[in-house]
Amino acid sequence: MLIAALYGLITGVLLCLTFGTVFFSLIQTSVERGYQSGIQIVLGVVASDAFFCFTAIFGTSFLPQIEHFDKWVGAIGIIFLVVLGVKNFFRVPTIASEEQEDEPRSKRSMVKLFLKGVALNALNPVNFMSWAAIATYLRTKGRYDLAEMIIFFSMSLVGVFGTQTALAVYAQRLRQFITVKRMKYVNVITGVVFLGVAGKLLWEQFLK
């Protein structure tokens, strides 16, 4: 059980250390709005990962049987990422001050950031495939029973939450070195990443 927990924690940390859409969006949001806003994105990511882990452990029989479901999810993900990518090229960068960081956020703003985290993570089919592949490996090669699987994936989620929260806090501390001009470059890089992932999904889901 202890080994399963340790491996799960390490897996969760490693899955976060990829320079994808969630990473750049998290850094961008934390710099612009403060780490509390970044954590809302983290909670959204963890919520969607928790759903992926559940389906990886117990199967997908409870999901509606929709023909070409993966294609629909991929198409929605592509559109979502293209919209976010283009928006980043034109958005005016802002950097929250310490006084603004202490101001209370509206529930609507927090929910919006939470849903953004859910969407960024859930609309990329690769994320679910990664969790499913891990579950398959644990069953076949690792010989994990149900209890060990639950412990592994639970600790993976702890690793994801802890690592991404640390990224959000660290990104906020970078604000003293970041100017509005530099933030504009961050926005452009984030936009390019979004469009790049959208292009990758388009190729893998529809053109390959």
Residue-wise pLDDT tens for the chain (208 aa)?
A: 889 999 999 999 998 887 778 888 898 888 888 889 999 999 999 999 999 999 888 875 555 566 666 677 778 888 888 988 898 888 776 665 555 554 556 788 899 999 999 999 988 777 888 898 899 889 888 889 989 999 999 999 999 999 999 999 988 777 767 677 777 888 888 889 889 988 988 888 788 7
The total of structural domains in the chain comes to 1
Q: What pLDDT, on a 0 to 100 scale, did the predictor assign at position 64? A: 59
What pLDDT, on a 0 to 100 scale, did the predictor assign at position 103? 54
Residue 39 lies in a domain: yes
pTM for the whole thing?
0.80
Would 156 be classed as within a structural domain?
yes
The number of beta carbons lying within 10 Å of the beta carbon of residue 154 is 17
Does the residue 113 lie in any domain? Answer: yes
d(CA 33, CA 25): 12
User: Is residue 100 domain-resident?
Assistant: yes
Looking at the domain assignment, is residue 91 inside a domain?
Answer: yes
Query: Does a structural domain hold residue 132?
Result: yes
CA 133 from chain centre, in angstroms, equals 18
Q: Rounded distance, CA 185 to CA 206, Å? A: 31
Closest CA to 187 of 91, 117, 113: 91
Q: Is residue 68 part of a domain?
A: no
What residue numbers bound the domain in which 50 lies?
A: 2-58+73-207
Give the pLDDT score at 41: 95
